[in-house]
Amino acid sequence: MLQGQTAVPSLEQSIDSAMQLAIRAKAFPGAQVLVAHQGEILLEKAYGFHTYDSLVPVRLSDLYDLASVTKIMGPLPALMKLVEEGVMDLDAPWSRYWKPWRRYPDKKSLTLRQILAHGAGLVPYIVFLKELLPPNNKGLKRRFVREQPSKGFDLQAYENRFVRSRFPRKMYRQINRSKVSEDKSYRYSGLAFLLFPEVISQLTGQEYRAYMRSTFYDPIGAQSLGYLPKERDPSFRVVPTERDTLFRKALTQNYVHDENAALFGGVSGNAGLFSNAKDLYNMLQMLSNGGTFGGRRYLSQKTIEEFTRLQFPQQNNRRGLGFDKPLLGNDSLPAAKAYPAPAVSPESYGHSGFTGTFVWVDPTYDLVYVFLSNRVYPSRSQDGIYTTNIREVVQQLIYEHLALDSP
């Protein structure tokens, strides 16, 4: 280096600096970050600790609760494959596959395309936990939840929380009866994702988890990716999420954070998957590769392109099918208003999760980015991940260091 020149920090140094600042700002106690370009992992690193007491450092093998990233790593690949095989039709009424909707005039004509693009007018969310809480919020209704497993109570939501086996039927009924807006503009809703596992089981003839393991996770080498981590492998180390004072009365760990997914026994299409960054990368790189990974084809390029393209931009809807996309006109927005980073290509896609997770694929540059954190520790009111904009900041650093410019 010539005298007077300043060393340019490497990509790793720049990300390290940003992550350390975010941890000091209490955006999260720890995280995993993975960056891959053209099929080569450039960075795979763990930061910080499981909690703010700094007792348990984050390891690369640790599992994070993926929250809504579950939507694109759980039911969505299965739906993509079923559409590709001709078992499902994106433009047929969803009531063809979920028959109860045939009885509801506002739902019977809604298509899978509308639902996956969040343009069906469905209610965003239903808090089913309210059904378990008495008016005084003291204790839980014993007709729905017990502290020990017994006949008719075999859905485990937490260590000492066993939900009535028939409770999912109650949730299905409420979803079936929920209102549908006549306005079909973009309105994010996770309701249908609660139905997808049951439909996938019916159409494949396999239990949903078994289908996902045999069709995707096991052959692609994503051993940590899955539901109910401790049931699958007691040696897994799972990063905790929130101190729950309402339902679990404990620090939530080893079980899904999302209450609706918990009431399904931890297996749902809207949340429930756990993984480390590396195993998520395998699935995401498969998508970036156009459906292949490790010499095996999982999906066709045509299917991936259909699911990841803009569906209803004329309705100011930025979504693909299940996948999130950049804001319309994102590359012209200042960094503080862009989503995600302003440098991503319009062809890119991914999803974020409530617990502090984020994954993004940019096929234009063959770039994969995985960010896992537990920003909800100790409480979901922690908003540091949003005020620091750390996930997008790191993503922008990646593009700048690789000298990638959005076309």
Per-residue pLDDT of 322-374, as tens digits, reads 999 999 999 999 888 999 999 999 999 999 999 999 999 999 999 999 999 99
9 and 17 Cβ atoms separated by less than 8 Å: yes
Instruction: Give the span between the Cα atoms of 273 and 228, in whole angstroms.
Output: 8
> Which pLDDT does position 123 carry in this prediction?
97
What's the predicted TM-score (pTM) here?
0.96
Instruction: Give the span between the Cα atoms of 25 and 76, in whole angstroms.
Output: 34
> Which pLDDT does position 136 carry in this prediction?
76
Domains with residue ranges and CATH for the chain: 11-401 (3.40.710.10)
Per-residue pLDDT of 218-258, as tens digits, reads 999 999 999 999 999 999 999 999 999 989 999 999 999 99
Q: From 135, 136, 141, select the one nearest 153 (Cα to Cα).
A: 141
Per-position b or e across 131-167, b if 16+ CB within 10 A of its CB: bbbeeeeeebeeebbbeeeeeebebbbbeebbbbeeb
Question: Strand, coil or helix: what is 266?
Answer: coil
The overall average pLDDT reported for the chain is 96
63 and 237 Cβ atoms separated by less than 8 Å: yes
Give the torsion sign (CA, 50, 74, 356, 192).
negative
Report which secondary-structure segment, H or E, holds 300: none
What torsion do the CA atoms of 50, 54, 58, 63 make, to the nearest 10 degrees? -10
Task: Provide the pairing of β-strand 161-163 with 145-146.
Answer: antiparallel
Instruction: Give the span between the Cα atoms of 115 and 186, in whole angstroms.
Output: 10
> Which pLDDT does position 336 carry in this prediction?
86
Q: Is 2 exposed, middle or buried (0-12, 13-18, 19+ CB in 10 A)?
A: exposed
CA distances from 106 to 56, 121, 125 (A): 51, 10, 17
> Which pLDDT does position 2 carry in this prediction?
47
> Which pLDDT does position 3 carry in this prediction?
53
First-to-last alpha carbon distance for the chain, in angstroms, is: 33
> Which pLDDT does position 383 carry in this prediction?
96
* Residue-level pLDDT, tens digit, the chain, 407 residues: 445 455 668 999 999 999 999 999 999 999 999 999 999 999 999 999 999 999 999 999 999 999 999 999 999 999 999 999 999 999 999 999 999 999 999 999 999 999 999 999 999 999 999 999 988 767 899 999 999 999 999 999 999 999 999 999 999 999 999 999 999 999 999 999 999 999 999 999 999 999 999 999 999 999 999 999 999 999 999 999 999 998 999 999 999 999 999 999 999 999 999 999 999 999 999 999 999 999 999 999 999 999 999 999 999 999 999 999 999 999 999 888 999 999 999 999 999 999 999 999 999 999 999 999 999 999 999 999 999 999 999 999 999 999 975 44
Q: From 225, 220, 226, select the one nearest 207 (Cα to Cα).
A: 226
Sheet of 357-362: strand order equals 40-48, 30-37, 367-373, 357-362, 349-353
Residue partners of 400: CB distance under 8 A and separation at least 6 = 343
> Which pLDDT does position 7 carry in this prediction?
64
